[in-house]
Amino acid sequence: MALTLIPTSSVHLLNSTSVALPQIFAADFNLRSRWRRRPVSSIFNFRHSLPSRTSLHCLCSSSPAASPMSLEVSTPNSQFLDSLIYSRAYWVTQGVIAWNVDVGEGSCYLFASKFAGLSFSEDGIDGYDVRIKLEAESGSLPAHVIEKFPHIRNYKSFKVPSDLDSRDLVKSQLAVVCFDAEGRLIQGTGLQLPGVLDELFSYDGPLGAHFTPEGVSLHLWAPTAQAVSVCIYKTPLNKSPMEICPLVEANGVWSTEGACSWERCYYVYKVSVYHPSTMKLETCYANDPYARGLSADGSKTFLVNLDSDDLKPEGWENLADEKPCLKSYSDISIYELHVRDFSAYDETVEPENRGGYLAFTSKDSAGVKHLQKLVDAGLTHLHLLPTYQFGGVDDEKENWKSVDTSLLDGLAPDSTEAQARITENQDDNGYNWGYNPVLWGVPKGSYASDPTGPCRITEFRKMVQALNCTGLNVVLDVVYNHLHASGPHDKDSVLDKIVPGYYLRRNNDGFIENSTCVNNTASEHYMVDRLIRDDLLNWVVNYKVDGFRFDLMGHIMKATMVNAKSAIGSLSKEKDGVDGSRIYLYGEGWNFGEVANNGRGINASQFNLCGTGIGSFNDRIRDATLGGSPFGHPLQQGFITGLLLQPNGHDHGSEATQELMLSTAKDHIQIGMVANLMDYMLTNHEGNEVKGSEILMHDATPVAYASQPTETINYVSAHDNETLFDIISLKTPMEISVDERCRINHLASSMIALSQGIPFFHAGDEILRSKSLDRDSYNSDDWFNRLDFSYSSNNWGVGLPPKGKNEHNWPLIKPRLQDPSFKPQSSHIVATLHNFLDLLRIRYSSPLFRLDTAKAIQERVRFHNTGPSSIQGAIVMSIQDGRKGIPSISQIDPVYSLIVVIFNARPSEFSFLSPALKDRNLELHPVQVMSGDETVKKSVYEAFSGSFTVPARTTAVFVESRND
């Protein structure tokens, strides 16, 4: 079969032409290298490979003269025909097909082929079993259809006959074709089915494996499948199944009953289904989407009952009663950590446990002792990067390829050799962040001591239990916005094998959307929404986790997030063994791609989540504090990195421009410090009283988006992009000392730790962690991601970071790594840690830092040093508690009646006179009085004048004790 490609912009050049397929891609689109890596059957799944200015119309040709790798071009009837590789029409309800065509006086038909035999010819369409006349309707699509599919709101509506057996028809290859008044074929295309599948087959009954004393039952939702059977294997190594059982379908759900002996066996579904990506009836072998265990190689689902007693660590049933205390979401603080980073280099952990779940159970290890220090200072939640079954790391450790790091230890700090050796094996070693999901409901096998059988289950539970006993709640990083693989044959494809074209979001041509990276999922479809909710409940009930961080949450529908929050919140210790009301949800509310501005329904973006109580990351405070954005120039300075006050040589514009930039950054930070509340009133840099929602970013988007403090996650660094210390080392002038950079690192952490809302810290911020300036270390091995809890090194200068994402910045990176003055000593690391612990102690010394309502924040928090006459580079914030003479504010702090925090980002001492704060009994916070930081102790307040003096690059906290 040849592929006929007609670029609509140049058809006159292609008429009667035959060109080799790779050549035309190389010549027109410069995609030759990508073409070599992709089979013909899958090239169209990568629609982002094609220039948006060119649309390709593909025809299937059976001409014997056409070779399999040639491009045969023709223009039947002088019209362009859409190939069936496209799916540009939507079967949105049982009675309506939506298509962006106008048939005029012509006619439209639905064609079906049970055995995928449809093809276009000069005379029309061949190979069909069924032909149904569709009636074009006037007017727009029904309102409920537009609500569900807003991106096709302007499509035409075609009425499907009411007596059509749609349930059976969706199992076939389908196409809609329109003809002109003379019966000549005009256009034809395949169909997207999620709308009609949701209407006919939405299902809330059992799915996955269910265990009873009588046996095991299996349930699979696969309404488009023509046949399903299950292959049962005694062991994961068996090549041949011990049993093959056909499943029986009822309303789109296939099920079977098995014997008790099936438990602890392995299984694979064999699904016969039409797959639009290949236009063939395919036989797909797939794991269960509701898998709870896997074989070591990931090829088979483990039939495991998670309620079995032998899978529960001692005391597991009582863990809900022993969880760390959490009175309010406002009390949460979050520490983000990768499982492997935590212990891969920790020699105090048993060698067999390094880099895995059990490292968290080693009570006497350096890493666990470090976590205990954080907990003792107040930290509440540990956020683990993905721990579900992800691709990119083989679960069988014997297959890993590793680098002899002894060969790297003596290299120059700016050597290219380390990154070259690391990247040779980066796809075959044991390291990856894990943002490439294969199965959401199974713990990752590479972090277990044995990836086969129940080991990964029991060890994951032991990890959660150990962390809870340490005093930490456990947050899982979940990635529901995309999947690692698709298509009928990829070993990591699961959902797209079982119901092709349903779970993955497709564009208007029918190709998979890839704006999140690859294989975007479609939570606007009912059974995707359900699978996400069921998976979250699995982790809460079966693993007793305490929260979830949603990757690219903006690509998930708001309704899915709200429904998930409600379902989790309804769990109780009496009924479910867990208290769902203490589970916190937050994520990345970015608004981009095909879902932007509610393009596929109301999405879970920052502004849309207002009022839900679901948190989203505040990029505004991050960018204003550090400068620029992760997508801008790396030398762009910000509030703490020297903008205007200590230039680094980068062109930031005129002095007036820089003054405006710095003043605007201050406004953004101050709104962030009051949890990014939309209705909070403050005085901006122009001297006007404005709401947070009236302070705008460069694109006129409001800075503030939250209605309550727990909807804002404040942060300055995370696993993405450079570490905090690294970004400071890039943005600050090269001539400043490492001591000054350490102070700036601490200043950044203080602005997060002492803000309202929920503070979030990347693991290692508190010990000056470096990745040798790597901006994207997702696949940079342990070498660039190393954490050292012995505090002897921060991993600075271990070589130029990997070429792929960093080479364009090597000219900036190289001189910094070469300069020995950039590298902190152990004394710097230890001092930074102690200062960070002091910040946590201060935050948890008073409920005034953790106000839980917008009203309380508006009443109590004030900013001084504001307006056009304010001193640049400094923020003065006061938090008032109720006391005698202020009846309008209740008392919530038994110790302090007033707190004043001064953030001095200036490279010089800051003095400030405040009439509003004079004659108070303010003193330096006792934690800072006892601090090892001698500089902060020089901070002074004079009551008679209301004068404050704070040293350069210092955060000083003054408190008024009730005892005074």
Count of domains observed in the chain: 3
Per the domain annotation, does 884 fall within a domain? yes
Residue 964 — pLDDT band, cuts 50, 70, 90? low
**607 plus 623 within the same structural domain:** no
Checking if the pLDDT of 765 tops 70, the result is yes
Checking if the pLDDT of 3 tops 70, the result is no
Contacts 24+ apart (CB under 8 A), 880-887: 881/848, 883/962
Q: Which residues of 305-322 are buried (b: 16+ CB within 10 A; e: fewer)?
A: bbeeeebbbeebeebbee
**What is d(CA 669, CA 650) in angstroms, rounded to the nearest whole number?**
23
Nearest to residue 527, comparing CAs of 535, 518, 538? 535
Nearest to residue 425, comparing CAs of 783, 34, 785? 783
Domain of residue 874: give its range.
617-768+824-961
pLDDT in tens, 675-730: 999 999 999 999 999 999 999 999 999 999 999 999 999 999 999 999 999 999 99
**742 plus 608 within the same structural domain:** no
Checking if the pLDDT of 75 tops 50, the result is no
**530 plus 659 within the same structural domain:** no
Domain boundary (616, 642, 670) is at 616
Domain boundary (165, 200, 235) is at 200
588 annotated active-site:
yes
901: number of Cβ within 10 Å: 22
Q: Mean pLDDT across the stretch 394-420?
A: 95
**581 plus 665 within the same structural domain:** no
- Over the Cα atoms of the chain, what is R_g? 30
Domain boundary (200, 221, 244) is at 200
pLDDT in tens, 245-286: 999 999 999 999 999 999 999 999 999 999 999 999 999 999
376 annotated active-site:
no
**642 plus 746 within the same structural domain:** yes
Beta bridge partners of 159: 96, 135
**612 plus 627 within the same structural domain:** no
CATH number for the domain spanning 473: value is: 3.20.20.80
**What is d(CA 423, CA 403) in angstroms, rounded to the nearest whole number?**
10
Checking if the pLDDT of 1 tops 70, the result is no
Determine the pLDDT at residue 29: 24
**172 plus 318 within the same structural domain:** no
pTM as predicted:
0.92
Nearest to residue 374, comparing CAs of 717, 765, 756, 752? 765
Q: How many residues does the chain have?
A: 964
Q: Which member of 249, 492, 551, 960 is catalytic?
A: 551
517: number of Cβ within 10 Å: 15
CATH number for the domain spanning 90: value is: 2.60.40.1130
Determine the pLDDT at residue 41: 29
**926 plus 952 within the same structural domain:** yes
**482 plus 609 within the same structural domain:** yes
**594 plus 647 within the same structural domain:** no
pLDDT in tens, 77-94: 334 445 889 999 999 999
**What is d(CA 386, CA 341) in angstroms, rounded to the nearest whole number?**
12
Checking if the pLDDT of 39 tops 70, the result is no
pLDDT in tens, 278-329: 999 999 999 999 999 999 999 999 999 999 999 999 999 999 999 999 999 9
Determine the pLDDT at residue 475: 98
Phi, psi for residue 958 in degrees, rounded to 5: -110, 140
Q: Is 589 helix (H, G, I), strand (E, B) or coil?
A: coil
Q: Which two three-digit tokens encode residue 639?
A: 């509030």
Determine the pLDDT at residue 885: 77
888: number of Cβ within 10 Å: 6
**599 plus 643 within the same structural domain:** no
Beta sheet of 215-221, edge-to-edge order: 208-212, 215-221, 253-258, 248-250
Lowest pLDDT segment from 53-62, 140-149, 297-306, 436-445 = 53-62
How high is the mean pLDDT of the chain? 91
- Tokens 């449809």 belong to which residue? 118
Q: Which member of 288, 395, 477, 588 is catalytic?
A: 588
**438 plus 463 within the same structural domain:** yes
Checking if the pLDDT of 52 tops 80, the result is no
Nearest to residue 939, comparing CAs of 914, 904, 898, 907? 904
